[in-house]
Amino acid sequence: MKFVVSSNALLKQLTAINGVITTNPVVPILENFLFEIGDGMLVVSASDLQTSMITEIAVEAKAKGSIAVPAKILLDTLKGLPEQPVTFTIDPETYSIEISSDNGRYKLSGENATDFPKVPGVKNGYSVDISTEILNRAISSTIFAASNDELKPAMTGVYVSLTESNATFVATDGHRLIRYRRSDIVSEMANTLIIPKKALNLLKASLPSENTNVKIEYNASNAFFSFNNIKMICRLIDERFPDYENAIPVDNPNVLTITRTDMMNSLKRISIYANKTTHQVRLKLAGSELQISAEDLDFSNEANERLACEFEGQDMEIGFNAKFLVEMLSNLDSPTISMHFSAPNRAGIITPADKDEHEDVLMLVMPVMLNSYA
C-alpha cells in the first residue's frame, strides 16, 4: 500500500486534530492516528474514546487500506521537513511504515487498524447550523467559567439549550455563572445537551479564521460537529444541569456603570496586594465614585484606587474574588459595563452596556464575605 502527499498539507491537518490525543491514553492504540486510504483521499482519525476528530486530505494512492500510525514520531518528522511530496509505503503484513522524502528515508512501526476504536455516528438525531464566528463567541464567552470539579460532572461542561426562539449557552463552577443567549440561532425541536469542556476547547482551536458554517448534529449521547474538512464527535455529559435560572437574582436596584477597561486594569493592580488565597477585593460604592481596595494582613500589603463611575442606588460595600472579576471582564468586549447589586451577601450581575441585537450576555459572580478592616 502506497500513497504520496504534501508534507505541509499533511502536517496542517494532523496538527488540527492532534489535540485529542492524550499522553497516557486508556488504550495504547490511541497514541496513534488512524490512516484510511481510498479513492484519492486519506482520512485521518484521532480519539481519546470520549472525543474523536477526523480530517481528510487529497493524496495520490493506488490501493486502499488502513493502518494506525504513531502520532508523536510522525508529527515530529513532518515538523522537521521542508515542504515537499512525501511517499508512505505500508506493509499490511508487518505494519511497517516507510516514509520517503527528498531528504531521506524514515522507518517506523504502525499497528493494526482494526484495533482502533470505531467512531460513533449520530443516528435519529437533531441538527442545527451555526456560523464559526457565533460558535467561537459562544464558547469563548462561557467555557472559562465551567468547573474542573469531577465530583460535579454536569458543571464540567457547557449547557446548551435550543428552543424555537433562541439558543442559550450556560457555564458555572458554583462561584460564577455565565449565560450567553442568541436570538439568531433557533431549533424546531426544543433540546438540551451538556458538551464537555475538552471537546469545546478542541473545537475552538480548530475553527477556521474565515467565517464558515458549522453543522451540529446531536442525539441523547453524542454531538457531531462538521465544518470544512474537519469533523468532531464527542460524548455528551449525561447528568442533570443545575437550575441556573433560580440562581440569578431578579431585583437588583443598585446599578454601577463604568468603563470596562478602567475597572479591569484597576482590579489587576489592586489584586497584586490582595490575599493570595482569597484574591479578595472590596468595592465601595458611593455617589459617582467607586473605591476598589485590597489588603493582605499576613504581609501588611494594602492598596486602594478611586474610579469615576455612574451609580444609582444605596451606598454599599461588597467583596469579590478579583481573579473572577478580571476574567469575566476580559471576556466581554463592550466598552462600558453595568454591574447590578441587591445586597452585599447576594450575587452581583455584570452585563455589557452596548449589546448586539441578537446577543444577550449575563455574568453572575458570588460575593465573598468582607473582612472587618476599615
The CATH number given to whatever domain includes residue 43 is 3.10.150.10
pLDDT tens per residue across span 178-200: 999 999 999 988 999 999 999 99
Q: What is the pLDDT of residues 289-311, one digit of tens each?
A: 999 999 998 899 999 999 999 99
Indicate the helix (H) or strand (E) that contains 270: helix 260-271
Q: Are 262 and 313 within one domain?
A: yes
How confident is the prediction for the chain on average, in pLDDT?
Answer: 94
Residues 237 and 254 in one domain: no
DSSP 219-257: -SSEEEEEETTEEEEEEPP-SPPP-GGGGS-S---EEEE
- What is the Cβ-side half-sphere exposure of residue 228, based on CA atoms within 13 angstroms? 16
Regarding whether 241 and 130 lie in a shared domain, the answer is: yes
User: Which of 95, 115, 135 is the C-terminal boundary of a domain?
Assistant: 115
pLDDT score of 369: 86
Polymer length of the chain? 374
pLDDT tens for 338-349 read 999 999 999 999
Using one digit for the tens of pLDDT, what is the confidence trace for 141-184?
999 999 999 999 999 999 999 999 999 999 999 999 999 999 99
Whether the pLDDT of residue 356 is over 70: the answer is: yes
State yes or no: pLDDT of 124 exceeds 80. Answer: no
> Cell 472559562 sits at which residue?
144
Regarding predicted confidence, which is higher, 224 or 123?
Answer: 224
Q: Look at residue 61 and tell me whether its pLDDT is greater than 80.
A: yes
Question: Given this model, what pLDDT does residue 372 score?
Answer: 56
| pLDDT recorded at residue 327 | 97
Whether the per-residue pLDDT at 257 is higher than 90: the answer is: yes
Domain end marker among 68, 92, 115 = 115
Q: What's the total number of domains in the chain?
A: 3
Residue 19 is assigned to a structural domain of this protein = yes
Q: State whether 38 and 84 are in the same domain.
A: yes
Residue 303 is predicted with a pLDDT of: 97
The answer to whether residues 26 and 63 belong to one domain is yes
Verify that 88 and 12 share a domain, yes or no. Answer: yes
Q: In this structure, are 70 and 157 located in the same domain?
A: no
- For residues 177 and 190, membership in a common domain is answered with yes
- Write down the pLDDT at residue 354: 87
Calculate the alpha carbon distances from 188 to 61, 163, 164, 219 in Å: 43, 7, 5, 14
Among candidate residues 115, 143, 169, the one where a domain is terminated: 115
Q: Is residue 373 in some structural domain?
A: no
Is residue 131 located within the same domain as residue 147? yes
**Sequence-ordered list of residues with C-beta below 8 angstroms from that of 265, at least 6 positions apart, any chain:** none
| Residue among 204, 195, 243 nearest 223 (CA) | 195
Q: Do 182 and 240 have their domain in common?
A: yes
Q: Does 131 lie in the same domain as 96?
A: no
Q: Compare 370 and 366 and report the one with higher pLDDT.
A: 366
Domain limits for position 263: 248-365
Query: What is the C-alpha separation between 160 and 187, in angstroms, rounded?
Result: 12
- In a shared domain, residues 203 and 236: yes
Q: Evaluate whether residue 82 is within a structural domain.
A: yes
Beta bridge partner(s), residue 59: none
Contact (CB, 8 A) for 111 and 67: yes
Residue 111 scores a pLDDT above 80: yes
